[in-house]
Amino acid sequence: MSETTAPARRGLFASERARTIAISVVVVAVVAWSAIGLDYSGLATFNPSLALEALRGLLSPDWGYVYDGSGEDLISLLLLTIGIAFLGTAIATVLAIPFALVSSRTLWHNPVVPRVGKFVCNVLRAFPELVYAIIFVRVVGPGPFAGALAIGVHQIGMLGKLFTEQIEAMDEAPVEAVRAVGGNFWQSLFYARLPQLMPIFSSLSLNHFEIAVRSASTLGLVGAGGIGAPLIFAIQARNWATVSIILIGVVVAVFAIDLLGGAIRKRLR
- CA atoms of 96 and 80, how far apart (whole Å): 24
- CA atoms of 262 and 105, how far apart (whole Å): 31
> Other CB atoms closer than 10 Å to residue 76's CB: what's the count?
15
Q: How many CA atoms lie within 13 A of 163 on its CB side?
A: 31
Q: pLDDT band for position 215 (50/70/90)?
A: confident
Average pLDDT over residues 230-240: 86
Which pLDDT tens digit goes with each residue over 146-163? 999 999 999 999 999 999
% pLDDT > 70, the chain: 94
- Closest listed residue to residue 227, CA positions, set 106, 29, 37, 65: 65
- Closest listed residue to residue 148, CA positions, set 136, 139, 164: 136
User: What are the chain's domains?
Assistant: 59-266 (1.10.3720.10)
DSSP 48-68: HHHHHHHHHHHTS--GGGS--
Which pLDDT tens digit goes with each residue over 25-50? 999 999 988 888 777 777 777 778 87
Q: Check residue 150 and give its pLDDT.
A: 93
Average pLDDT over residues 103-107: 87
What is the distance, to the nearest Å, from the Cα of residue 57 to the centroid of all Cα atoms in its chain?
Answer: 31
